[in-house]
Structure 1
Amino acid sequence: MASTELETPPKNTTDEHLDEIPDEVEMSLFDHLEELRQRIFYALIAVAIGVTGCFIFVKPLVQLLEVPAGDVKFLQLAPGEFFFVSLKVAGYSGILVASPFILYQIIQFVLPGLTRRERRLLGPIVLGSSVLFFAGLAFAYLALIPAALKFFISYGADVVEQLWSIDRYFEFVLLLMFSTGLAFQIPVIQLILGYLGIVSSKQMLSGWRYVVLGAVVLGAVLTPSTDPLTQSLLAGAVLGLYFGGVGMVKLSGR
């Protein structure tokens, strides 16, 4: 009687290779904290340089951000108000200018602990996140802010004269731009969740009713104004990004 031998399936060497951590180096907790301290220190230096450089050229930046307001006159209602506005604009702009170097420091800190498979995903995530963030800034500057300001200027234009506080105006503009940039990160988050197998494209699509409700709430929360047009534009953009992210997750086979 012939004996039958059970054959063990061969191991997938490609998967094993992708799950390896190349150039793995053992580091103590103290070494990790020391490296983290250095990375944060370098990032703060880059931010300080960026803020200083933007403060030197802050007046052209202020004039650029005043363009959506059209012919509205801005007032300085308190001593030093424009100075503190300049600091705000330089601060936001400096962080934006230094963001590539900050991202580089973050990547260098987490890279040694990533497998080859995770490193393949890192490049597209960083690139996509950066592109979407700047796209969000552009969308806010070109669409959301002009729409909101047009609504406020036209409403009551025959009753009140348009004289605005420069501090309140820039608080509105900067908050709207950066909150929109953060909202544009939705597809990146979806791709990460899909890649990790936490949520599939089918599950994302099945909860579309909750997504619509969440987009409306998000548009109301992130929009510093209360006009329905701006909130609707932001909610529509969030929905478009979400369903676009579902499509990308589906194309990736998740």
Structure 2
Amino acid sequence: MPLLDHLGELRRRLTIIIVSIIIGTAVFYFATPTIIDLLTDPIAPFVNDQFYIMSSLGGFSLRFSIAIKTAAVVCVPMILWQILGFFLPALKPNERRWVVPTLFLATALFFIGAVFCYLFIVPSAFEWLVGETNTIATAFADLENYLNTEVLLMIGFGIAFELPLFVFYLAVFHIVPYATFRGAWRYIYVAMAVIAATVTPDASPVTMLFMYAVLLSLYEVSLLVTRFVIIAREGKKGLKGSRVGFFAADEEA
């Protein structure tokens, strides 16, 4: 398509995303009391079930903030589909077969990461954070601040769990050869440590260590799966990297 048609298609898909999130926000606004109860459940034991809102507009702003974030998270499958749909016409038929599995895996990994954070990271992180506060003062639990930190943690872990998908596609399509990923592991490990320290909103060592351990585990698992897939389709020579090897094998299959 001409450039203006591409821009029109992009605008259409962005409009769908924005309108969907706006509608979702309106719907979830009325469900925010239940959502907030769910979010505070792993934190409440560390603050004696006492949360506070510090301003007259705090209740409204908190409900709106939670509603829009919930809408954005629930719309993740649709957002990913719109992104993939924009690039779909540029893909070859053998490449398009990967779109639906990619959408499913990306969505599943995001929600698995968010749930993992909710069940295991949030309690440990807030236990440490509140404990540190209680050593010097009484923790005064500002509900908006606590929930914003928790939601950002969950979104951060949801995005972090997408790492295997990125590594898999970069290596299996030979955009970045598998041998490069395997040979540069020292630099990648250091980069992951920097990322873990940067993206965790609470800056606590507990959360950073958890994030770092998760990133390392996901990275190694993704490389292991990628190795099996490449060897199965191309043989061990594929591990060294060939930009057309995997597509050729896909077409033969």
Note whether the superposition's TM-score is higher than 0.5.
Answer: yes
Cα distance in 1 for partners of 2:125, 2:64 equals 24
Deviation at 1:163, TM superposition (A): 2.0
Larger Rg: 1
Matched, 1:87 2:64: yes
- Provide the C-alpha distance between the structure 1 equivalents of 2:137 and 2:191, rounded to a whole number of angstroms: 36
Contact 1:82 1:166 in 2 (8 A): no
Residue type at the aligned position of 1:58: T
Secondary structure of the 1:132 match is helix
Partner of 2:3: 29
**Residues 114, 155 of structure 2: 8 Å contact kept:** yes
**Counterpart residue identity of residue 201, structure 1:** Y
Deviation, structure 1 residue 158: 5.9
Q: Could you say which residue in structure 2 is the equivalent of 1:67?
A: 41
Contact 1:212–1:239 (CA under 8 A) maintained in structure 2: yes
Code of the aligned partner of 1:136 = G
Report if aligned partners of 1:211, 1:239 keep a CA contact under 8 Å in 2.
no
Q: CA 1:199 to 1:106, structure 2 compared with 1: closer, same or farther past 3 Å?
A: closer
Report the alpha carbon displacement of residue 200 of structure 1 after superposing the two structures with TM: 2.5
Aligned to 1:48: 22
How many Å separate the matches in 1 of 2:163 and 2:129? Answer: 29
- The aligned residue for residue 54 of structure 2 is 77
| Ranges in structure 2 where 5+ consecutive residues have no aligned partner | 231-238, 240-253
Q: CA deviation at 1:45?
A: 1.4
Aligned twin of 1:238? 215
Residue pair 2:196, 2:208 contacting (<8 A) in 1 also: yes
Which is further off, 153-162 or 95-104? Answer: 153-162
- Secondary structure at the aligned position of 2:98 is classed as helix
Q: Residues 11-160 of structure 1 correspond to what in structure 2 (within 5 A)?
A: 27-71=1-45, 72=47, 73-157=50-134, 160=137
Higher helix proportion (structure 1 or 2): 2
Contact 1:55 1:87 in 2 (8 A): yes
- TM-score (normalizing by structure 2): 0.84
Aligned identity (percent) is 28
Q: Measure the CA separation in 2 of the matches of 1:115 and 1:92.
A: 35
One-letter code aligned to 1:211: I
Query: RMSD of the alignment, in Å?
Result: 1.7
Find the residue that maps to 1:94 and give its secondary structure.
helix
Amino acid at match of 1:190: V
Structure 1 unaligned segments of length 5 or more: list them.
Answer: 1-26
Normalising by structure 1, report the TM-score.
0.83
**Does 2:170 correspond to 1:193?**
yes
SS in 1 for 2:51: strand
Kindly tell me: are residues 223 and 107 of structure 1, through their superposed partners in 2, closer, same or farther at Cα, counting changes over 3 Å?
closer
Contact 1:132 1:181 in 2 (8 A): yes
